[in-house]
């Protein structure tokens, strides 16, 4: 690589993209391009996302490979005017790397800055004539692409697989009967998800006391807030789902984790490491809400049961596009959410990402006024018949791409930098 200075601008949006796409790519870029910030500067600019938690910028800025980050709230002025909130300077050479958002964004921003553009595309690639290079998850993404643009496409594999190794099914750690609980990260989901998953855990634990449970805590969520959703005095839905509730137990020794402990004696370990892929990979089954976590579990090949309880009809507000905007409007958002979810419930399609990828229900999606016994019986059946879990794992593995994507994307970026320098020499 040349020693001339240049900028790399990462475009991303939601929490899933920042943790599972941006993190491995910036690591791979530093490995290939070096850590001299006077030569290589990496910036991250976030665009609005209906699933955003508001802490994506802090997460991205915590990556040591990243030099500066702009929050999503300032995105539109940058897109339209070309200026960041802090009036960043830009070097004359650079590459815009798309890792989440709308694929039109790198087109506009690349033109404004005069930079080459690289897009990571999972399932669909757009703007073939205006984007310089595409790194795609699977060869199927290239189907239908005109031959005159075929040279722009490289199959790089699945960025999700960069986060953690798939579990070794012969590993001693998998001898422990561990179940992961992923109730969500926002209040609307947690109000139902925490008491429901705890009630399911209590049901399973009563019949299989050897089973252990773990709950990975979202980086945007503090433990006291999480525990409040398990408190029947603070969350009326605890009784609705038949849970006994749970209290936050602080460990006496810092080497031990915090736990949620129920009146029945069940203890759910709280994992604050993020991302928690190493721990999740040890789980036999995960109970999860809909969202990016289903993609992460699918990439890891972890069997899951996807829960969308409808006892509180306005809880689901993370729809894409206009429905998501309406459901999150101040004041009237709850009414819109109830209307949208009522319609969605009647027209239910595939909701979990692995099922969407496969266009069939690989993992069960349970929607409606769910109760612990019905879900608990599915869990018990899977635990009693491990061959069923093996079948689900095999199907999950079959719908994802290959590993090594981050390094391949970094290589494409290097090639585009060299291409830009060649053009500037003449």
Averaged pLDDT, 209-231:
93
Domain membership flag for residue 361 = yes
Residues 142 and 195 in one domain: no
User: If you count them, how many residues does the chain have?
Assistant: 426
What is the tens place of the pLDDT at every residue in 5-14? 999 999 999 8
* Residue 379 scores a pLDDT above 50: yes
User: What is the total count of domains within the chain?
Assistant: 2
Residue 361 DSSP SS3: coil
Give the number of C-alpha atoms closer than 13 A to the C-alpha of residue 381, restricted to the C-beta side.
8
For range 95-99, the mean pLDDT: 97
Q: What pLDDT, in 10s, does the model give residues 110-150?
A: 999 999 999 999 888 999 999 999 999 888 888 888 889 99
Name the helix (H) or strand (E) containing 298: helix 292-300
Question: Is pLDDT above 90 for 266?
Answer: yes
Residues 238, 335: one domain? Answer: yes
| Distance, CA of 123 to CA of 102 (rounded, Å) | 13
Do 368 and 413 lie in one domain? The reply is no
In a domain, 1, yes or no: no
Q: Is 24 exposed, middle or buried (0-12, 13-18, 19+ CB in 10 A)?
A: buried
149 in the same domain as 180: no
Of 191, 206, 179, 188, which Cα lies nearest the Cα of 262?
A: 206
pLDDT at residue 21 greater than cutoff 60 = yes
Q: What is the pLDDT of residue 320?
A: 47
Q: Is residue 15 part of a domain?
A: yes
Which pLDDT score is estimated for 387? 95
Average pLDDT value for residue range 394-399: 87
Of residues 241 and 324, more confidence is placed in 241
> Is residue 369 in some structural domain?
yes
Residues 417 and 336 in one domain: no
Between 17-31, 88-102, 194-208, 410-424, the lowest mean confidence (pLDDT) is in 410-424
- Does residue 218 sit in the same domain as residue 301? yes
380 shares its domain with 413: no
Claim to verify: residue 360 and residue 240 sit in the same structural domain: yes
Query: Which pLDDT score is estimated for 426?
Result: 47
pLDDT for 1: 43
- 248-257 LR contacts (CB < 8 Å, sep 24+): 248/223, 248/224
Cis peptide before 275 (omega within 30 of 0): yes
Residue 99: domain span: 6-158+402-425
Whether the CB-CB separation of 103 and 119 falls below 8 Å is answered with yes
Q: Judge whether residue 370 has pLDDT over 70.
A: yes
- Reduced to 3 states (helix: H, G, I; strand: E, B; else coil), residue 346 is helix
| Rounded mean pLDDT, 352-368 | 89
Report the C-alpha gap between 320 and 317 in whole angstroms: 9
139/32 same-domain check:
yes
Task: Say yes or no: 188 and 211 in one domain.
Answer: yes
pLDDT at 244 over 90: no
Based on the number of CB atoms within 10 Å of its own CB, is 88 exposed (0-12), middle (13-18) or buried (19 or more)? middle
* Same domain membership, residue 99 and residue 111: yes
123 domain residue, yes or no: yes
Position 171 pLDDT exceeds 80: no
Residue 229 CA to residue 15 CA, distance in Å, equals: 22
CA distance to 90, 137, 160, 358, per residue, from 400 (Å): 37, 8, 9, 9
Long-range contacts of 166-171 (CB under 8 A, 24+ apart): 166/281, 166/300, 166/301, 166/397, 167/281, 167/282, 167/300, 167/301, 167/302, 169/390, 169/393, 171/282
On whether both 250 and 354 belong to a single domain, the answer is yes
**Nearest partner of 5 among 33, 45, 26, judged by Cα:** 33
* pLDDT at position 89: 95
Q: What is the pLDDT of residue 39?
A: 93
pLDDT of res. 73: 94
> Residue 321's pLDDT is what?
47
Strands (E), 55-203: 68-70, 94-98, 116-121, 133-136, 153-155, 178-182
More confident: 249 or 344: 249
> Which of 19-23, 94-98, 237-241, 289-293 has the least mean pLDDT?
289-293
**How many distinct helices (H) and strands (E) make up the chain?**
16, 15
Instruction: For residue 180, give the CATH number of its domain.
Output: 3.40.50.2000
pTM confidence score: 0.69
Q: How confident is the model at residue 52 (pLDDT cuts 50, 70, 90)?
A: confident
Rounded to whole angstroms, how far apart are CA atoms 127 and 118? 12
Q: How far apart are the C-alpha atoms of 256 and 196, rounded to whole Å?
A: 26
Please write the tens of the pLDDT for every residue from 331-351: 555 665 656 555 555 555 688
């Amino acid at each position: 690589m040349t020693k001339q200075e240049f900028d790399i601008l990462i475009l991303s949006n939601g929490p899933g993209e920042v943790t599972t796409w941006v993190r491995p790519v910036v690591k791979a870029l530093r490995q290939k391009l070096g850590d001299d910030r006077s030569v290589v500067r990496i910036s991250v600019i976030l665009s609005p996302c209906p699933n955003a938690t508001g802490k994506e910028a802090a997460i991205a800025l915590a990556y040591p490979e990243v030099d500066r980050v702009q929050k999503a709230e300032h995105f539109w002025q940058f897109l339209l005017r070309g200026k960041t909130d802090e009036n960043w300077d830009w070097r004359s050479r650079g590459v815009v790397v798309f890792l989440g958002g709308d694929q039109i964004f790198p087109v506009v921003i690349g033109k404004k800055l005069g930079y080459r553009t690289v897009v990571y595309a999972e399932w669909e690639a757009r703007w073939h004539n205006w984007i310089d290079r595409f790194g795609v998850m699977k060869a199927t993404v290239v189907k239908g692409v005109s031959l005159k643009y075929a040279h722009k496409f490289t199959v790089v594999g699945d960025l999700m697989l960069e986060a953690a190794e798939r579990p070794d099914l012969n590993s001693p750690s998998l001898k422990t009967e561990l179940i992961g609980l992923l109730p969500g990260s926002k209040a609307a989901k947690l109000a139902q998800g925490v008491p429901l998953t705890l009630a399911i855990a209590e049901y399973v634990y009563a019949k299989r006391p050897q089973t252990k449970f773990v709950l990975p805590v979202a980086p945007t969520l503090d433990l006291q807030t999480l525990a409040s959703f398990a408190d029947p005095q603070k969350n009326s839905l605890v009784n609705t789902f038949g849970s006994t509730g749970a209290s936050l137990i602080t460990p006496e020794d810092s080497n031990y984790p915090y736990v949620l402990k129920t009146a029945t004696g069940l203890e759910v370990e709280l994992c604050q490491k993020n991302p928690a892929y190493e721990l999740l990979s040890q789980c036999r089954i995960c109970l999860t809400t809909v969202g990016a976590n289903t993609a992460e579990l699918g990439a890891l090949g972890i069997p899951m049961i996807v829960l969308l309880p409808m006892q509180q009809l306005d809880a689901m507000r993370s729809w894409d596009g206009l429905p998501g905007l309406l459901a999150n409007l101040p004041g009237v958002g709850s009414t819109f959410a109830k209307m949208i979810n009522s319609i969605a419930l009647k027209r239910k399609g595939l909701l979990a990402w692995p099922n969407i990828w496969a266009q069939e229900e690989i993992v069960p999606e349970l929607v409606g006024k769910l109760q612990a016994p019905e879900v608990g019986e599915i869990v018990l059946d899977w635990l009693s018949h491990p061959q069923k879990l093996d079948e689900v794992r095999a199907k999950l593995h079959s719908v994802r791409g290959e590993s090594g994507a981050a390094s391949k994307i970094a290589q494409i970026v290097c090639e585009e930098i060299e291409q830009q320098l060649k053009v500037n020499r003449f």
